[in-house]
Amino acid sequence: MMQIEVNHLVKEYKRKRDPGTLLKALGSMFRPDYEIFRAVDDINLGIEKGEAVGYVGPNGSGKSTTIKMLSGVLTPTAGTIKIDGLEPRKNRMKINKRTGVVFGNRSVLWWDVPVMESYRVLQKLYEIPEKTFRDNLEEFIDLLDMERIIQVPERQLSLGQKMKCNIAAAFLHNPEIVYLDEPTIGLDSESKLKIRRFIQKMNEDRHTTFIVTSHDFQDIESLCQRIILINHGKIVIDDKIGAVRKNFTKKKQITFDLADNPWSKGKEFAIPDVRVLDVGETNLVLEYDVEKTDSMEIMNYVSASSDIQDVSINGQDIESIIREIVKKDNQGEV
Amino acid sequence: MKKFYYLMRMAFMTKFAYIKAFWFNIFGTAVSILIYYFLWKYVFRTREELNGFTAAQMTTYVIISRVLSSQFSGGIDREFSEWVYKGNIVVELLRPVPLLYNLFGKRIGEFLFFLLFKGIPISILATLILGGTGPAGAGQLLLFGMSVLVSIVILFWIEVTVGLIGFFTLNVWGLTFTKSALLSILSGGVVPLFLFPDEVAQVLNYMPFAGMVSVPASIYLGKYDWNQAVQFIGLQIIWAILLGLGVLAFYRFAIKKVVVQGG
Ligand SMILES: Nc1ncnc2c1ncn2[C@@H]1O[C@H](COP(=O)(O)OP(=O)(O)O)[C@@H](O)[C@H]1O
Ligand SMILES: [Mg+2]
């Protein structure tokens, strides 16, 4: 059995339609004009214990909505969710004890009191044994470098410090599953790095299952083995990151270091579908379409007219791959 | 119980963080006590007693009613609805204790803070300065305390209801305002219930609102005999249970419709 099983999940929001005129706005105070908006549209998922899944998609594609349904806060319009066989909506307290949730734009801590006081309350609410609590706290403080911030009220912390405290809070009770919705939004690269390392470590040491949504593809690449792409509420891709990269890389870059570069002296590059990105006295950067040509052909061609000193080939980064898939999906091609 | 204690403690500490604002709050209550005190003083210029109340008793009524009804404008409803409005309800729903339990802990914490830092000191000071009467007896004082305790449960249910309506209207500012005004009037917080027309007063006496000001104040002043006092407290308890059941049903219904705002 999968740890998380989602079948034909749908969420529709009722949205008030913009009334247009003031008169109509007055009318709509009494009889609001609603339209149905389908934010999550027939999603199926299976996630094993210990998996780290990147849940990506453009703004408004339905990521947060999915997370809220998985964690039992929102009621699905249709479809089923099973977490270890339990329906989150109906077993909210049980599920809450076994999961941790981090929302990049919200805090689980109490705003006006020192962070440590909030942790104390969380310890009692989650019934965390004193020893577990102490050990976890010590480890987290060390990993996230929080020594000096836990005695400070949350309202006096910076965004990055707040996020660290919230991420630590989500792990205090040794959750089996953690949902992270944009955990690094708005943070500097130093904080991002610490948070990433922390999540990685939790995944490795404790086999905590993760679902991470993020705009930052470095987050996804460094944290996740698997990527799920959602667009307009529908899953477009669900695969290992490596496989996505392999299957969807359309263009590669090849960089030559040449002893003598005839193309810098006006020679035409004769293979079609190859774009010259940069050309200098001793270097040549090309981009080619993997479906039309391959590196061997280019290498043969280049070496026929020049002496290759060094060569390197780069695939597309995952961000631009995803961007292209989304673009195609929006045009109805995938 | 431990969980409840820690939730209460958190509410207490949060209140402490805003102690400066609290001084203004106390000042406001003190001013309103003075205003009502002088109003009644004027009334009592020409008479010895009104409906069995002496001037000193009326002063005590003013103090108790002003202090108790100063709670009506606080409470958890505004924050609860703000959770809904700003979407933080999502975090509160993810806590491993039921939302209402969480809220009740918070409310009781705030109530204890109110008692300790405002209710008790202001009442004692005002009684001494303005010359009110003390409790009719030790038994009355005890029953008065019980009545206030039960009333806080009733008040809590009302606040939850107001907050819940926020699930649907997404804004409860007007509602919280109406709530505190209505409660002040219906509970006897503005004028004693006996000043209402007889039939209205009769009905109001048996409504849950009376339990928040009129009943405890009357018990304190010895206006009810022992039997009446116990009966009124019993009635309050019944109201607390009935309202609780109703609000719980409404809560179950509303929570299914929770729409969490914002990404
Ligand atoms: N409470 C709501 N009421 C109406 N529409 C909503 C609500 N919450 C989200 N939506 C809409 O649902 C879609 C998906 O939102 P969301 O899940 O937050 O996207 P993401 O997290 O992927 O950016 C968006 O188009 C958003 O406008
Ligand atoms: Mg989102």
The single-letter DSSP state of residue A104 is T
Distance (Å, rounded) from C-alpha B21 to C-alpha B172? 22
Cα separation, B72 vs A160, in Å, equals 38
Task: Report the alpha-carbon distance of residue A45 to residue A83 in Å, rounded.
Answer: 11
Residue nearest to atom 12 of ligand 1 (CA): A39
Angle at CA of residue A145, ends A142 and A151, nearest 5° = 100
Phi and psi angles of residue A21, each rounded to the nearest 5 degrees, phi first? -100, 160
The CA A307 to ligand 2 mean position distance, Å, reads 52
Chain B residue whose CA is closest to A127:
B3
CB contact under 8 A, B2 and A153: no
Same fold, A4-246 and A250-315: no
Contact between A143 and A167 (Cβ < 8 Å): no
The confidence score (pLDDT) of residue B169 equals 74
CATH architecture of the domain A4-246 equals 3-Layer(aba) Sandwich (3.40)
From the alpha carbon of A68, which atom of ligand 1 is closest? Answer: 17
Question: What are the angstrom distances between the C-alpha of A141 and each of A147, A153, A236, A286, A293?
Answer: 6, 16, 39, 47, 52
Angle, to 10 degrees, between the axis of helix B99-114 and the axis of helix B138-169?
A: 130
More confident residue, A333 or B135: B135
Q: Is B197 on the interface with A (CB under 8 A)?
A: no
Of the candidates A71, A113, A120, which has its C-beta nearest B17's C-beta? Answer: A113
Task: Tell me the pLDDT band of A27, cut-offs 50, 70 and 90.
Answer: low
Token pair of B179, please?
């709530």
Q: Please state the rounded mean pLDDT for residues A92-109.
A: 93
Q: What is the mean pLDDT of residues A221-248?
A: 92
Q: How far apart are the first and last CA of chain B?
A: 35
- Of the candidates A135, A199, A138, A207, which has an alpha carbon nearest to the alpha carbon of residue A170? A199
The whole-angstrom separation of Cα B57 and Cα B140 is 14
For Cα atoms A63, A69, A73, give the angle at the middle one, nearest 5 degrees: 120
Residue B40 vs residues A237, A266, B186: alpha-carbon distances, Å: 76, 103, 19
Inter-chain residue contact A103 with B91, CB threshold 8 Å? yes
Q: How confident is the model at residue A334 (pLDDT cuts 50, 70, 90)?
A: low
So what's the pLDDT on residue B207?
A: 95
Residues of B in contact with A101 (CB under 8 A): 91, 94
**CA distances in angstroms from B80 to B40, B157, B238, listed in the order given:** 37, 12, 25
Q: Which residue has the tokens 């999940």?
A: A9
Name which of A93, A110, A112 is nearest B98 (Cβ-Cβ): A93
Angle CA(A147)–CA(A150)–CA(A152) in degrees, nearest 5?
Answer: 120
Q: Quick check: A124 and B95 CB within 8 A?
A: no
> Which residue in chain A is spatially nearest to B11 when comparing CA positions?
A110
Task: Give the closest of B87, B89, B96 to A93, CB-based.
Answer: B96
- Please determine, for residue A177, whether its predicted confidence score (pLDDT) is greater than 90: yes
Tell me, yes or no, if B120 comes closer than 8 A to chain A by beta carbon.
no
Which ligand approaches the C-alpha of residue A68 most closely? 1
Distance A216 CA to ligand 2 centre (A): 13
* pLDDT of residue A41 exceeding 70: yes
Ligand 1 pocket test, pick from A10, A11, A12, A13 with the greatest ligand atom count within 8 Å of Cβ, gives A13
Ligand 1 pocket by Cβ (under 6 Å) = A 13, 15, 37, 39, 57, 59-65; B 259, 261, 263
- From A14, A16, A37, A234, mutation site for ligand 1 pocket: most ligand atoms within 8 A of C-beta: A37
| pLDDT averaged over every residue in chain B | 91
pLDDT at B261 over 70: no
pLDDT score, position B262: 56
> Which chain B residues are closer than 8 Å to A110 by Cβ?
10, 13-14
pTM over 0.90, yes/no: no
Q: Which residues contact A265 (CB under 8 A, 6 or more apart)?
A: none
β-pairing, B53-54 with A308-314? unpaired
What are residue A253's phi and psi, to 5 degrees? -110, 140
Give strand ranges (E) for chain B: 49-50, 53-54
Ligand nearest to the CA of B85: 1
- Cα A302 to averaged position of ligand 1 atoms, centre (Å): 51
Q: B94 CB near a chain A CB, below 8 Å?
A: yes
pLDDT tens per residue across span A190-228: 999 999 999 999 999 999 999 999 888 888 988 999 999
A329 Cα–ligand 2 center, Å: 20
Question: According to the model, what pLDDT value does residue A293 have?
Answer: 87
Which of A14, A96, A117 is facing B95, going by the closest CB pair? Answer: A96
Pick the CATH number of A250-315 from 3.30.950, 1.10.10, 3.30.70, 2.30.30: 3.30.70
How far, in Å, are A263, B191, B248 from residue A267 at the CA level?
Answer: 4, 99, 81
Q: Determine how β-strand A251-258 pairs with β-strand A308-314.
A: antiparallel
Measured CA to CA, the distance from residue A124 to residue B61 in angstroms comes to: 41
CA–centroid distance, A39 to ligand 1, in Å, is 6
Phi-psi region of A231 (alpha: psi -120 to 50; beta: other; left: phi over 0): beta
Stretch B74-103: mean pLDDT, rounded? 88
**Are the beta carbons of A110 and B14 separated by less than 8 Å?**
yes
Enter the tokens of residue B221.
Answer: 């002043």
Residue B116 to chain A, least CA–CA distance (Å)? 20
Residues of A in contact with B263 (CB under 8 A): 64, 105, 181-182
Say if the Cβ atoms of B7 and A121 lie within 8 Å: yes
Contact at CB, A182 and B263, closer than 8 angstroms: yes
Chain A residue with CA closest to B83: the answer is A106
* N- to C-terminal Cα separation, chain A: 30
B138 touches chain A (CB under 8 A): no
- Specify the residue with its C-alpha closest to ligand 1, atom 11: A39
Candidates A72, A106, A110; nearest CB to B10: A110
pLDDT attached to residue A31:
66
Question: How many Cβ atoms sit within 10 Å of the Cβ of residue A31?
Answer: 7
Q: Residues A60, B262: contact at Cβ < 8 Å?
A: no
With beta carbons less than 8 A apart as the criterion, state whether A42 and A8 touch: yes
Chain B within 8 Å of A108 (Cβ-Cβ)? yes
- Contacting residues for B39 by C-beta, under 8 A, at least 6 apart: none
Q: Which ligand is nearest to the CA of A39?
A: 1
Neighbour count for residue A17 (Cβ, 10 Å): 12
Give residue B262 CA to ligand 1 midpoint distance, Å.
7
- How large is the average pLDDT for residues B78-100? 88
Query: How far, in Å, CA of A116 to CA of A126, rounded?
Result: 15
Q: How confident is the model at residue B259 (pLDDT cuts 50, 70, 90)?
A: low
Q: Which A residues, 195 through 224, put their C-beta within 8 Å of a C-beta on chain B? A: none
DSSP structure string for B178-216:
HHHHHHHHHTTSSS-GGGS-HHHHHHHHTSGGGGGTHHH
Domain boundaries defined on chain A: 4-246, 250-315
pLDDT digits (tens, 9 = 90+) for B24-33: 999 999 999 9
Q: What is the pLDDT of residues B152-177, one digit of tens each?
A: 999 999 999 998 887 677 667 788 88
Show the CA angle centred on residue A107, arms to residues B165 and A103, nearest 5°: 95
What rounded mean pLDDT belongs to chain A? Answer: 90
